[in-house]
Amino acid sequence: MYKFVLATRYLLKRRITYFAILAVALCVFIVVVVMTVMTGLVTDFTQKNHSFTGDCVVGTESLVGFPYYEDFINVLENSEFIQAVSPVIKSYSLLTLRDKDFNLGVEIMGIDPVRHSQATDFEKTLHYRKNDASKAFSPSYDPNLPGCILGIDLLMERDSKSGYPYPSSPYELAFSITCFPLTAKGALAKVGAGLVNTQTFYFSDTSHSGLARVDSSTVYLPFEQAQLLCGMSGPIKRANCLHIKFKPNVKLQDGCEKVSSLWQAFLQQKKGLQQADLLAAVNVQSWKDYRRAFIAAMEKEQAMMIVMFGFVGITTVFIVFVVFYITTENKRKDIGILKSIGVSNADVVQLFSLFSFMVGLLASCIGILSGSLFLLKINKIENWLFEQIGFQLWDRTIYAIGDIPNQLDPMVLLIITCSAIVACQLGALLPTWQAAASRPVETLRVSRL
Amino acid sequence: MSKNDLILNCEGLYKSYRMGATEVKVLKGVDLAVKRGEFLAIVGASGSGKSTLLHILGALDTPDKGIVRFEGLDLSRHNARQLNNYRNKTVGFIFQFYHLLDELNVLENIYLPAMASKSILGWIASRRWAKNRAKQLLNELGLLERANHKPYQLSGGERQRVAIGRALMNEPKLLLADEPTGNLDSATGNGILEVFERLNRAGQTIVMVTHDERIARRAKRIIALADGKVKT
């Protein structure tokens, strides 16, 4: 009991302890704020990639695509774990604004908007046809014209508050899309072979996936037209990939393994058929693997951040070490007194360990509380700063970030609290052991006082 | 004198310290016997080894050679736990500079030895007794109205009386006082000695170390320590 009483008194009555608490609380505050924002960004980015991709992708990197995709769609749709499948044409093209001297290299995605919205969250990315994907390629100003959907950043720039200046109805714009039709052998289809490689489309909607690279470079076309433009609509039709959504109770890994098994069986079944060699280049990937190149970069930044906070943690340990070294040096007399009344070395260690635990706990509480309050108001603070001095943490005209993420994760808070307490215990370890090992006759000797 | 009359005896105590490259021999074969209920004063010049001897008797330090027996039991055979128990319950220390804990008030300083020997549950069970005992001691020492004061709010004499209270808290068989009046004026020091005499009359065994022979004369027996040995 005296340990608790003394540790509490040391905590409250030693001014130097306040510095330790302040230092640890500051570290906790920084870690809470940065980890919350960083984790929020990574989670948001990962979620957007999931929404864009669906659960699983069967596809090839080759622009030639692969045949018999419709047969495999049938196989998948007859499986009880599949909710939806969407075939996609992916290629590159030249986008030319009609009657204007402007063109741009873009990625094209040929999709059936209804099927694609069942397999992904595509419908939610639309602006004018948000609740009716079936009309996504029907321009509202003339539904009979062939429509195209532009990634939002191709058409307009974000304003400084992360909004887009959408007009009330779509601009009446016409674009020429020129593709490079490829044969099944991968050669450029010869002119005069009856293939179409340029077609006019009319702007019907925008897609805002929240993925900057996608929104700034992708044009969505109706599946059949894209297939035609890319030379994939011959007698044996080809597609580049299938986006798949599993039923809600299916685990990602299990679903992907089942799709992989079905694909292997399908591969055997199609062996020897015309163009079947293209099937060998097809991979089955979970959405995480499919978007790995993009997600990994973000996760790496998060890992780097954690390493940097490891160094912050070491600094905290050092600060606590110094404070405890000074404290225990000042308390040598107390330790001598305690030993003279029968307190053991282990009890002295426990006393100062309890003291350091209290420092860690109190500092964590202060750090987490202030960090939480700051996060609660972080967007208001940023808005205020922007209005006053034009400061933004991220330039919303460049980065696809809306509000700064501020959702506190209880698990992260628990880990930070435990880490702060452990850091305090580590910092106090050596001075505490030194103090406990001191001989009372040395500390109580008159000449030392 | 029968063996049962002795509460403490030591034979052939040697102790030396290293000061830089020099070895300072402080005790060179001290023999001492203390009877139960005795008030013994050990006198000697500064550096004669009085405090070292007292620390060894109270198990705060260990001799290089020699035996200390308390009620016939050799202290060198005690393990760390038994020695802690000895310091907590069997002996009570009083130091020249009082050595009170600044963070605790007077009452808490007094019942600290009782609290130190108890677990949390044990303390909850005995808390009332301990506080009453501490208040009783404060009353006997004339400090009851100072119970909630901090040590820095007390005079030297009051602090020393608090230190006496703390030493008596667990009703020790032996009181060891190291220059208890060394930091006090003569009137205040006299008051402290009167407390000792009163305690001794009640049967308390006291060993007091002092360099002042006038103070030593207040004890029932005086021994002198010189050149690391007891002079008769």
Measure CA A426 to chain center: 33
**Residue B58 near chain A (CB below 8 Å):** yes
pLDDT of residue A195: 63
**Residue B131 near chain A (CB below 8 Å):** no
Q: Do A446 and B108 touch (CB under 8 A)?
A: no
**Which of A9, A345, A445 minimises the CB distance to B103?**
A9
Domain ranges of chain B: 37-63+80-231
Whether the Cβ atoms of residue A204 and residue A128 lie closer than 8 Å to each other: yes
Query: Across all residues in chain B, what is the average pLDDT?
Result: 87
Q: What is the ipTM of this complex?
A: 0.88
How many domains, in total, are found in chain A?
2
**Residue B116 near chain A (CB below 8 Å):** yes
Which chain B residues touch A446 with a CB distance below 8 Å?
51, 96-97, 179
Q: Do A340 and B87 touch (CB under 8 A)?
A: yes
A interface residues, B as partner, C-beta within 8 Å: 1-2, 4-6, 9-10, 13, 333-334, 336-345, 347, 439-441, 444-446, 449
> Is the per-residue pLDDT at A449 higher than 50?
no
A42: which 2 tokens?
Answer: 């990574």
Span A383-396, pLDDT tens digits: 888 888 877 777 66
pLDDT of residue A155: 87
Interface of B with A in 154-183 (CB under 8 A): 166, 179
Gap from A160 CA to chain B (nearest CA, Å): 57
In a shared domain, residues A256 and A358: no
Query: Among all residues of chain A, which has the CA nearest to that of B116?
Result: A2
Q: Do A341 and B166 touch (CB under 8 A)?
A: yes
In a shared domain, residues A68 and A34: no
In a shared domain, residues A268 and A340: no
Span A354-374, pLDDT tens digits: 988 998 899 999 999 999 999
Which residue among A255, A281, A307 closes a domain? A281
Determine the Cα–Cα distance for residues A153 and A151; give it in Å rounded to an integer. 6
> Is the per-residue pLDDT at A194 higher than 70?
no
Number of CB atoms found within 10 A of residue A41's CB: 18
> Is the per-residue pLDDT at A307 higher than 60?
yes
- Residues A152, A93, A228: CA angle, nearest 5 degrees: 110
Whether the Cβ atoms of residue B43 and residue B211 lie closer than 8 Å to each other: yes
Task: Identify the band that residue A447 occupies on the pLDDT scale cut at 50, 70 and 90.
Answer: very low
A410: which 2 tokens?
Answer: 């209880």
Whether the Cβ atoms of residue A201 and residue A222 lie closer than 8 Å to each other: no
Who has greater pLDDT, A185 or B52? Answer: B52
Flag whether A288 is in a domain.
no
Q: Do B104 and A446 touch (CB under 8 A)?
A: no
Instruction: Return the residue matching tokens 């052939």.
Output: B12
Determine the Cα–Cα distance for residues A371 and A359; give it in Å rounded to an integer. 18
Whether the Cβ atoms of residue A222 and residue A110 lie closer than 8 Å to each other: yes
> Is the torsion defined by CA of B190, B195, B200, B204 positive or negative?
negative
Gap from A438 CA to chain B (nearest CA, Å): 12
Flag whether A212 is in a domain.
yes
Whether the Cβ atoms of residue A36 and residue A405 lie closer than 8 Å to each other: yes
Flag whether A310 is in a domain.
yes
pLDDT of residue B45: 85
Number of CB atoms found within 10 A of residue B185's CB: 11
Q: What is the 3-state secondary structure (H, E, C) of chain A?
A: CHHHHHHHHHHHHCHHHHHHHHHHHHHHHHHHHHHHHHHHHHHHHHHHHHHHHCCEEEECCCCCCEECHHHHHHHHHCCCCEEEEEEEEEEEEEEEECCCCCEEEEEEEEECHHHHHHHCCHHHHECCCCCCHHHCCCCCCCCCCCEEEEEHHHHCCCCCCCCCCCCCCCCCCEEEEEECCECCCCCECCCCCCCCCEEEEEEEEEECCCCHHHHCCEEEEEHHHHHHHCCCCCCCCEECEEEEEECCCCCHHHHHHHHHHHHHHHHHHCCCCCCHHHHHHCEEEEHHHHCHHHHHHHHHHHHHHHHHHHHHHHHHHHHHHHHHHHHHHHCHHHHHHHHHCCCCHHHHHHHHHHHHHHHHHHHHHHHHHHHHHHHHCHHHHHHHHHHHHCCCCCCCCCCCCCCCCCCCCHHHHHHHHHHHHHHHHHHHHHHHHHHHHCCHHHHHCHHHC
Q: Do A441 and B103 touch (CB under 8 A)?
A: no
In a shared domain, residues A70 and A201: yes
pLDDT of residue A57: 95
Which chain B residues touch A337 with a CB distance below 8 Å?
99-101
**Which of B81, B99, B113 minimises the CB distance to A444?**
B99
**Which of B60, B103, B108 minimises the CB distance to A440?**
B60
Query: Among all residues of chain B, which has the CA nearest to that of A445?
Result: B51
Whether the Cβ atoms of residue B24 and residue B30 lie closer than 8 Å to each other: no
In a shared domain, residues A142 and A204: yes
Q: Which of A197, A201, A11 is nearest to A96 (CA)?
A: A201
Measure CA B154 to chain center: 21
How much is the average pLDDT of B144-164? 88
For the ranges A154-163, A312-321, A428-437, B195-204, the lowest mean pLDDT is seen at: A154-163
Which residue among A233, A259, A281 closes a domain? A281
In a shared domain, residues A417 and A383: yes
Which chain B residues touch A339 with a CB distance below 8 Å?
60, 87
Q: Which of A292, A294, A291, A282 is nearest to A87 (CA)?
A: A282
Measure CA A120 to chain center: 17
Which residue(s) pair with A57 in the sheet? A243, A285
In a shared domain, residues A236 and A313: no
Gap from A2 CA to chain B (nearest CA, Å): 6
Q: B48 — phi, psi (to 5°)? A: -80, -10
CB contacts < 8 A, A to B, total 74
Determine the Cα–Cα distance for residues A203 and A149; give it in Å rounded to an integer. 6
Determine the Cα–Cα distance for residues A128 and B144; give it in Å rounded to an integer. 85
How much is the average pLDDT of B26-50? 88
Q: Do B123 and A10 touch (CB under 8 A)?
A: no
Q: Do B166 and A6 touch (CB under 8 A)?
A: no
Flag whether A40 is in a domain.
yes
Gap from B113 CA to chain A (nearest CA, Å): 6
> Is the per-residue pLDDT at A174 higher than 60?
yes
Which chain B residues touch A439 with a CB distance below 8 Å?
61
Query: Among all residues of chain A, which has the CA nearest to that of B123?
Result: A1
Flag whether A28 is in a domain.
yes
Determine the Cα–Cα distance for residues A224 and B1; give it in Å rounded to an integer. 120
In a shared domain, residues A148 and A256: yes
A381: which 2 tokens?
Answer: 């603070």
pLDDT of residue A193: 59
Q: Which of A403, A353, A359, A371 is nearest to A24 (CA)?
A: A359
pLDDT of residue A331: 80
Task: Identify the band that residue A241 occupies on the pLDDT scale cut at 50, 70 and 90.
Answer: very high
pLDDT of residue A448: 44
Q: What is the 3-state secondary structure (H, E, C) of chain B?
A: CCHHHEEEEEEEEEEEEEECCEEEEEEEEEEEEEECCCEEEEECCCCCCHHHHHHHHCCCCCCCEEEEEECCEEHHHCCHHHHHHHHHHHEEEECCCCCCCCCCCHHHHHHHHHHHCCCHHHHHHHHHHHHHHHHHHHHHCCCHHHCCCCHHHCCHHHHHHHHHHHHHCCCCCEEEEECCCCCCCHHHHHHHHHHHHHHHHCCCEEEEEECCHHHHCCCCEEEEEECCEEEC
Q: Do B97 and A446 touch (CB under 8 A)?
A: yes
pLDDT of residue B123: 84
Which chain A residues touch B103 with a CB distance below 8 Å?
6, 9-10, 13
Gap from A448 CA to chain B (nearest CA, Å): 11
> Is the per-residue pLDDT at A310 higher than 90?
no
In a shared domain, residues A200 and A250: yes
Which residue(s) pair with A150 in the sheet? A206, A219
**Which of B86, B115, B124 minimises the CB distance to A2?**
B115
Q: Do A1 and B120 touch (CB under 8 A)?
A: yes
A374: which 2 tokens?
Answer: 């700051």
Q: Which of A261, A299, A242, A297 is nearest to A53 (CA)?
A: A242
Q: Provide the residue range defining the domain that includes A267.
A: 61-281
pLDDT of residue A151: 93
> Is the per-residue pLDDT at B229 higher than 50?
yes
**Residue B133 near chain A (CB below 8 Å):** no
In a shared domain, residues A71 and A24: no
In a shared domain, residues A11 and A159: no
CATH number given to B37-63+80-231: 3.40.50.300
In a shared domain, residues A242 and A367: no
Whether the Cβ atoms of residue B114 and residue B169 lie closer than 8 Å to each other: yes
Flag whether A251 is in a domain.
yes
Whether the Cβ atoms of residue B162 and residue B98 lie closer than 8 Å to each other: yes
